[in-house]
Amino acid sequence: MDKEFLNKTFIITGASSGIGKATVELALQRGANVAATGRNIEELKKLHQKYNNKNLEIIAANITIEADRKTIVEKCINKFGEIDVLVNAAGIIGSGSIENTTLEQWDYMMDVNLRSTFRLIQIALPYLIKRKGNIVNVSSITGIRAFPNVLAYCVSKAGIDQLTHCAALELAPKGVRINSVNPGVVVTNLHKASGMSEETYNAFLEHSKTTHPLGRVGTAEEVAELILFLASEKAAWITGVSYSIDGGRAQTCLR
């Protein structure tokens, strides 16, 4: 297992924090070549300094910009010559209901969380088909269960799941697998990046212990482990599946 991804090349978005960063680190530790992309160049540089080897290429990019999406794929190919795994971990969250979500907020959520994932898959697909590679999308518990006051986020993640399911049927004959993971509450910068204060976030995490049957929130590393399992040969007969990793949260009713 230590080097199970030797000679395999990953593109991982959202790599400057949270689940994306944890996935980069685990993939590198297991021998992969990784093109790590995100918007926070300082955090990407820290990753590069930590590992400082030829297996890591950092790419500062905004996945909502078409030129940047193409650059991510081009730089990966120029550096490593191939793409075996695409991990779409970049995403944002924001509050808003059906009554007060603005069209601008809706469009931005769909752009970051859904449209950009769809387009990056399209750009990387010729290389993934050539290598009979696979794709793992980071969705959310909100893709399969409804929650109030995060309307656009829920819809964007439901879209990720359906994108995963439909694309899996279309890509299976070409030897390309695609799955998604659906985390519950995980300790990352996601909520604070949306504007939640430290105090509010800590209270949210404490409350979340009561809403997850296992009695705690998750870690980015736990989700990264599932992502790497789905990307591995051990999951060679798994495609088109949305995997819950949520301490049992999806089994409960709203509370």
Helix (H) or strand (E) holding 39: none
| Alpha-carbon torsion, ordered 104, 109, 112, 117, to 10 deg | -130
* 249 within 8 A of 186, measured Cβ to Cβ: no
243 is catalytic: no
Max CA separation in the chain (angstroms): 50
In eight-state DSSP terms, residue 218 is E
Number of Cβ atoms within 10 Å of the Cβ of 139: 29
- List 51, 108, 127, 153, catalytic entry: 153
Tokens 């808003």: give the residue: 96
Contacts of 168 (CB under 8 A, 6+ apart): 177, 178, 179, 239, 240, 241
Q: Residue 50 corresponds to which tokens in the numbers above? A: 């930590």
Indicate the DSSP class of residue 112. I
178 DSSP β-pair partners: 135
- Element at 58 (helix H, strand E): strand 56-60
Residues paired with 56 in a beta bridge = 34
Residues taking part in catalysis = 153
